[in-house]
Structure 1
Amino acid sequence: MKKRIPSARKASGHTQRGQCAKRISILDAAAEVFCREGFSGASIDEIAMEACVSRQTIYNHYREKETLFMAVVQDVMDRANAALFSVLATFPNNADDLENELAAFAAALVRNCSCNHDGKFLRRMVQTEGERYPHLFEAWRKQGPGRVDAALAALLARLSSQANLAMDDFDLAARQFLALINADLQMIVLFGETPTDEQLQIATCKAVQTFLRAYVKPSEKTGATSEKQLRAG
């Protein structure tokens, strides 16, 4: 997993910097081992060896394996959410060239949030451990998918009046949008592969076309059809 430098590492004092470095090393090593072995298969000894620290050091920081696992999920989720909200900031603000702008947004959402290292890690852990240890993912339930749906629903509500979209339930529309953009990529992602740019473009363009056909107001559809007919004539 790629190393990162959190703000805590800027704190003064050799001891404090050393403790922060150890925590980062432990979290990174634990993420790799949990991803490879699963929660039940991972051992503190293996994580300690990979992090180049002692077994006791891990217990000093995290007390037990379950606490360490939840810390890893939180750490990965924090980065995943940062990437997510960076992409959400590119959501279209107006109806100009809406189809192409929504398709570009959808492609960025999949590429930078679902198919990056952190997205793959979270998906793998939920798929393999979620049923056996649901309590380990309680924070992920609230801060992951829940925040995505709510944020996207708010953006669709803002866009709806400007783009003349007929939406009664923005939360439902948000879930449908996310389901559509992932529909044709599920099998690729399920096996840990990364879709090509071409696959991503085709899937997201089709998804956005389907989404807009469902939500553009009838008058807007009729107007668009009439304009095309006039141009053809």
Structure 2
Amino acid sequence: MLDVARQQFAASGYRAVTMRKIAEQACVSTRTLYNWYADKLALFEACLSAGSAHSDVPKINDSLALEQALRAYAAALMQYLARDTSLGLGLVVYREGAEFPEIAAAAHANQNTWLVEPLAAYLTHHGLEREGATDNTKLFIAMALSEFQRRLAFGCPLQTAFEIDEHVGRVTSLFLTGAATSAYGKDYL
């Protein structure tokens, strides 16, 4: 059901998708769908969580050196977000989030759970984020995704693997240099 729902939301948008349409496509009764998900928002939230809980969501590799771990994480994040359903759901939130603030809130909560909090814990461990804060974490994510988002906004082709590697190299270097000299960074070298 979730795979069908993710595909439907990504292809048609939040407004256009109905519980009945998803039930038909998933070959289940509408009643069965409502037994699992109270309403369309609960189903949308489940779609976000199911995608994020998937094993290929970017994770920090603690066995790598700090710079290599951040580079690998940023590259994996861009590749993950460029997947059809991830990209489609992200565009749904972008296009329809103002009209349906509940989906924007769900996407924000999902991002905090699966991306921001784990990365903040990692950066805190390395002295690059204050305990309990996420400012530097959000800055790193924003820097990493800047070219990806620019290309989406202007309808340009997404980055190639080589372009991603170059971009995350620059971003990671700038971030680590700035974080090391900030008020709550420490010398990581």
Q: 1:220 to 1:44 in 2, by over 3 A?
A: closer
Residue in structure 2 matched with residue 186 of structure 1 by the alignment: 149
1:130-209 equivalent positions in 2, closer than 5 A? 130-142=97-109, 144-147=110-113, 148-160=115-127, 167-168=129-130, 170-190=133-153, 191=155, 194-209=158-173
Give TM-score scaled by structure 2 length.
0.75
Contact 1:74–1:140 (CA under 8 A) maintained in structure 2: no
Where relative contact order (Cα < 8 A, 6+ residues apart) is larger, the structure is: 2
2:58 pairs with one of 87, 99, 124: 87
SS at match of 2:159: coil
1:123 aligns with 2:87: no
Structure 2 CA distance for partners of 1:192 and 1:145, relative to 1, 3 Å: farther
1:48 and 1:150 map into 2 onto residues whose CA distance is 34
Give the whole-Å Cα distance in 2 for the aligned partners of 1:100 and 1:136: 34
Identify the residue that residue 74 of structure 1 maps to in structure 2: 46
Distance 1:137 1:81, change over 3 A: farther
- Contact kept, 8 Å, 2:119 with 2:137, in 1: the verdict is yes
CA distance in 2, matches of 1:180, 1:92: 23
1:99 aligns with 2:74: no
Give the partner amino acid of 1:205.
G
RMSD: 3.3
Q: CA deviation at 1:101?
A: 3.7
Question: 1:127: how far off?
Answer: 1.1
The answer for unaligned runs of 5 or more in structure 2 is none
CA gap 1:28/1:90 in 2 versus in 1, 3 angstroms: same
Per the TM alignment, residue 91 of structure 1 is displaced from its structure 2 partner at its CA by: 4.3
Asked whether the equivalents of residues 74 and 139 of structure 1 are also in contact (C-alpha less than 8 Å), the reply is no
% identical aligned pairs: 20
Q: Report the Cα distance in structure 2 between the residues aligned to 1:115 and 1:158, rounded to whole angstroms.
A: 29
Structure 1 unaligned regions, length at least 5: 1-23, 225-233
The structure with the largest alpha-carbon Rg is 1
One-letter code of the match for 1:110? M
Matched to 1:187, the amino acid is R
2:138 alignment partner, SS class: helix
CA distance in 2, matches of 1:33, 1:192: 24
- The alpha-carbon distance between structure 1 residues 42 and 102, as it changes in their structure 2 partners (threshold 3 A), is closer
Partner Cα separation in structure 1 for residue 3 and residue 156 of structure 2: 20
* Number of residue equivalences: 182
Measure the CA separation in 1 of the matches of 2:134 and 2:39.
33
